[in-house]
Structure 1
Amino acid sequence: MSVFLAARNPRVLLAILGALTGPAAFADDSDIALDLDAAQELAVTRQPLLEALNAQARAERESAVAAGQLPDPQLSLGVQGLPINSDDAGSFTRDSDTQLTVGFTQEFPRAAKRRLRGALNEREAQRLDAQAQLAERSIRRDTALAWLELWRFEQALLLNRASLREAEAQMQAVEIALKTSSATQAELLGARVEVGRMRDAVAGAEQSIGHARNVLSRWIGEAAFRPVCPDLPAPPLPTLAQVLERVRMHPQLASLEVQISAAQTGAELARAAYAPDWRVELAYADRPAFSEMVSVQVGIDLPVFTRNRQDRGLAAALARGDAADAAAQDALRELQAEARLNYHDSERLYERLDAYNNSLLPDSAHRVEAALAGWGAGRNALREVLEARRATLELQMTRLELQHDAAKHAAQLEYLGAYADTAETIHE
């Protein structure tokens, strides 16, 4: 739905500037109407959720570097062969086996294992990058839905206020007609009831606006209390084939593709576990009354019982790969089904809106004019005027609901990536 880049929309730039410079900037542009593009940009600017995911990705990349290094060497200090009884007890010089030792041990995991462990951390960082992109899309969609809800109630308030003004003018006309005996008491009461009903509708819309602003403030803070731009974005609907192709680039699928790669790396690491690691230990021994001694030892792992260790680890890694691949296929099917559903509903809604714009609303307006003319000429009752106006308002409200539904489907299609290559936005 929002396809303008921030650089091409001055209002978006003002909104971002307000988010970056703090409350004072919001005060400066508090009278600027908040459109959908600006609301979405504000929602993803300095968004804590996105900052947290980016920080986690940085942490994984730092861990990837550490995982590729050799383990830290180990230093050991000790006393060996110290007598604890007889006349030699506690002496460091009487027994030739007594020695003070200093040891140094270094383990050498295979380079392939260290590289693969680092690769697993890098895969996790890539997954978090994809999750951040998915979170940004979700935030944009949720912000769009919250803004559209506010827009809907704002437009409903305008319609109800216009109907209220007409009802009040009608009531005044009936009061004047009653004084000249050209209207009845029942008609006056009917006009008053209509005014009361419209006042309640205005109050209900105002209450809904307050609720919607508080919901929107979850994403954009105080900017949610700015005036709302009356223009509703209506991006051109691409073809279904284009939508289904663009869905394949969805961040959710990218995240699952990274999990498949991570499972493949895990399988390579499981295969590398069959190859033994080794270690070297160097020790120096000081015997105060005898000669000094040096020892060197080499240790190596013996992966000879692989049936319930390495074999199981490899099988588990391969199973995780199968699970990730199946999850990716299922996610693609789900996203494409969602794209088809939203695309189908969008087409039908646009067709229904055309019917309202081209026939239903014009005919309803003509009905109101005819009813007013007939009532003024004394050919029909006030009831017909009220019914005509009520029917017109109902049609206007239905059209508003259709616009709102179409915009919601457009927001969902934007989340799915349907407008990824769209260069401009068309406004009604």
Structure 2
Amino acid sequence: MFSPFIWRCLAFGCALAFAAEAPALTLAQAQQRAVERSRQLAAQGHAADAARDMAVAAAQLPDPVLKAGVDNLPVSGADRYRIGADSMTMRRIGVMQELTSSDKRRWRAARFESEAARSKAAAEALAANIQRDTAIAWLDRYHLERMKAELARQAALARDEIAAAEAAYRGGRGTQSGLLDARAALLVLEDRATELGQQARNAAIMLARWTGEPVDVALDGSVDTGSIALDPANLEATLEHHPQVAVLTRQAELAQAEAGLARANRSADWTVEVALQQRGPGYPGMVSFGVSVPLQWDRDQRQERELSARLSMAGQAQAERDEALREHVAEIRSQLADWQTGRERIARYEKEVLPLASARTEAVLAAYRGGKAGLVEVMAARRSESEQRLQALQLERDNARTWAQLTYIQPAKGHP
């Protein structure tokens, strides 16, 4: 029998092997899985299907009505409740049909077709939001893991500094305050690492919420956030197709269809009826027919008021759509400016700030080896360089979030 220690080692080895075999998750895969598992997208699809089916039904004439009955049945006297005993009693069977105008049926169908288009536009807006939020979660975790790695490197350097400070202090070449400063610097790094670890866990939890993958799934590859397929010169024309603007456009079309239906309702629908009647034995059969027409006696206060209300609602929907377009144009312009500024700052850090900080650290280290600088100066130079590297990584993270918001204004091809 194996000892418990052996069993634990085997279990740990199996877990490592499984983790090694688990495929890493790319950004595109994460977005695809998030879209596929969204139940809200499925709900919008069902809503669109239902509206399209209702459009077909609304274009048809109402069902005919079968009518059957007995007229003039005696309820007193010797022939009470006897059908056929009295010459006035008649058995009747007929059909009634409401003749809804083709114009009304067309507008009713158009209303449901507009609802289907609105549901489809809402699905596209939802897919874009899912892809954007998934990308932000993926990029957050990716960049936070890079920041954690940088902090781990800094912590290792801080431990080396503590060891050097302790040796210098024991050898009489350093001070106790220098040793305490080195320990305090390590504590600051460890606290910051704890904070970043919590942020990374939150990003991993959010990514798992979208993709359904394990929280600790590995991420594969990086993403080029240095280019955006948006033309600032044609931004307003591009945002005409923004999913949220498209939803409001479809809402305005729906309001127009309802206004068209209200206009068609000013014409009353006729109802025709045909019935066969049979009296008692010895009496001939009869046929009856008739037409029913609603009397729009208060048209100004009913039909015209309804049309006016629907036209006002259509105007409201169009105004809200136009205002939303202006708002999105201003928002995207601001985000584009933020992204472009972020790219300039990232380039400045890569070409000037970080090389300068590294060169300064090397110069202080050279002076320290030559006895012209103390350990305090070395630690200060290293901390400054590490802080600049963390700031550069944080800047890349912030700019990546802005990139995701600009890139996934519309759902990527193939979604939904």
TM-score category of the 2 structures, normalised to the smaller one: 0.7 to 0.9
Any gaps of 5 or more consecutive residues in structure 1?
Answer: 1-26, 422-428
Per-residue CA shift, 1:87-110, capped at 9, x if unaligned? 222222331122222232111101
Q: How does 1:401-420 map to 2 (within 5 A)?
A: 401-417=394-410
Aligned to 2:194: 203
Q: For 1:77-156, what aligned pairs fall within 5 Å after superposition?
A: 77-156=68-147
> Any residues of structure 2 matched to 1:290-309 within 5 Å, and which?
290-291=282-283, 292-309=285-302
Q: What is the match of residue 16 of structure 1? A: none
Quick check: 1:279–1:298 contact (8 Å CA) kept in 2? Answer: yes
TM-score, scaled relative to structure 2:
0.88
Measured in 2, the distance between the counterparts of 1:295 and 1:52 equals 50
Moved more, 236-245 or 388-397: 236-245
Pick one of 273, 280, 296 that aligns with 1:281.
273
Number of the residue aligned with 1:262: 254
- Compared with structure 1, are the counterparts of its residues 144 and 284 closer, same or farther at alpha carbon in structure 2 (3 Å cutoff)? same
- 1:351 shift after superposition: 1.3
Q: Alignment partner of 2:408: what SS? A: helix
Q: Give the structure-1-normalised TM-score.
A: 0.85
Percent identity at matched positions?
36
One-letter amino acid of the counterpart of residue 310, structure 1: Q
Distance of aligned partners of 1:29 and 1:300 in 2 relative to their CA distance in 1, 3 Å threshold: farther
Counterpart among 364, 381, 386 of residue 357 in structure 2: 364
Would you say 1:353 and 2:346 are equivalent positions? yes
Residue 308 of structure 1: how far off its partner (Å) = 0.9
CA contact (8 A) 1:36 1:233 kept: no
1:185 Cα deviation (Å)? 3.4
Distance 1:71 1:355 in 2: 72
Cα deviation 1:192-222 (Å, max 9, x = unaligned): 3323332333333223222221122221112
Q: Could you tell me whether the CA contact under 8 Å between 1:244 and 1:339 is conserved in 2?
A: no
Deviation at 1:317, TM superposition (A): 1.9
Name the aligned partner's letter for residue 40 of structure 1: Q
Q: Is the 8 A contact 2:349 2:392 kept in 1?
A: yes
Partner residue in 1 for 2:6: none
Q: 1:192 aligns with which of 153, 158, 183?
A: 183
The letter for the 2-side match of 1:391 is S
1:215-267 per-residue CA deviation (whole Å, 9 max, x = no partner) reads 22221112553112462421424542144432222122222222332233223
- Secondary structure of the structure 2 residue equivalent to 1:225: coil
1:64-106: CA deviations, max 9, x gaps?
0000111111122322212122222222233112222223211
Compared CA separation, residues 364 and 52, structure 1 to 2 (3 A) = same
In structure 1, give the amino acid aligned to 2:320. Answer: A
Say how many residue pairs are matched: 394
1:65 and 1:332 map into 2 onto residues whose CA distance is 32
Matches within 5 A, 1:156-167: 156-167=147-158
1:318 and 2:311 correspond: yes
Moved segments of 4+, more than 4 Å: 27-30
Given the alignment, which residue of 205, 213, 216 partners 2:204?
213
Unaligned runs of 5+ residues in structure 2 are 1-17
Contact 1:267–1:314 (Cα < 8 Å) also in 2: yes
Using the alignment, how far apart are the partners of 2:168 and 2:37 within structure 1?
62
Q: Cα distance 1:61–1:420, how it changes in 2: closer, same or farther (>3 A)?
A: closer
Q: Cα RMSD (Å) of the superposition? A: 2.3
